[in-house]
Amino acid sequence: MPDVLRNKAGLKVNVTLDDRDLQMLLRAIPENLQRRGFRAAVIKGSQIINRVAKRLAPSESGLLRKSIGYKIKSFIHSQNGTIGYYGVIGPRKDGFRQAVFRVKGRRVVRGSPSSVMIANPIKYAHLVALGVKPHRVPVSGYGYKQKTKYGKHPGVPARNFMKNAASYSRNQVLAAMTAELEKAIKKSKG
């Protein structure tokens, strides 16, 4: 079962393989092939979760769905010096900031400058995934010696598509990662 960990945005998922036989086989192959096998396995697993997350992401404007991608990163374990890999899945930073028309009900509101907003999925993906509690928002009165009036934001329910993507595709990810590692083992044997 994947261990689900939350970072500030609440979008971090950790999948750990715990198969003793597979680990023993991996120790028997050379280190460079181990690294290649692990990296290939993490890429396959990340691709599957990325595909499911894109499918599950809500698409009011389609921008959040388009921005979801994956990146593979490596680290060196501090205690034994081994290299590990992990995949980061979520909204990408570059190239997805766009002007979007606000939607009221089923119609697009156009005309006034307030009907256009700049949307950047990296800034709001955590709000979509984790939801927002009802809270006060300033309505008017910004400025020197002006009394600020507040309205009430109704809040938004959580739609944690990233967590759901990891849990829905768990078996597929484990099967694909195991297949990639077995491929690396077969390659090392001959």
- pLDDT reported for residue 35: 84
Give the best-scoring range by mean pLDDT among 22-31, 58-67, 93-102, 140-149: 58-67
The predicted model scores a pTM of: 0.74
> Tens digit of pLDDT for each residue in 154-183?
898 998 898 899 899 989 998 898 888 888
Give the number of other CB atoms < 10 A from CB of residue 112. Answer: 8
What are the tens digits of pLDDT across the range 2-15?
444 444 444 455 55
Distance CA 89, CA 144 (A): 44
Instruction: Please give the Cα distance from 51 to 69 (Å, whole number).
Output: 9
Which pLDDT belongs to residue 108? 53
| Strand ranges (E), the chain | 3-5, 12-14, 68-76, 83-91, 98-101, 103-104, 107-108, 116-119, 135-140, 149-153
* Model confidence pLDDT, tens digit, residues 71-128: 999 888 778 777 888 899 999 888 777 777 665 555 555 555 556 677 888 888 888 8
Q: Which residues contact 163 (CB under 8 A, 6 or more apart)?
A: 4, 13, 129
Question: What does residue 155 show for φ and ψ, rounded to 5 degrees?
Answer: 90, 170
CB 11 within 8 A of CB 121: no
pLDDT score of 1: 38
- Select the more confidently predicted residue: 50 or 103: 50
Question: Within 10 Å of residue 165's Cβ, how many Cβ atoms?
Answer: 24
CA distance 89 to 69: 6
Query: What's the rounded Cα separation, in Å, for the pair 86 and 93?
Result: 18
Q: How far apart are CA 170 and CA 48, in angstroms?
A: 9
What pLDDT does residue 81 have?
Answer: 76
pLDDT of residue 22: 61
Token pair of 24 as six digits: 């023993």
pLDDT > 70? residue 189: yes
Q: What residue ranges do the domains of the chain occupy? A: 3-92+161-189, 98-153
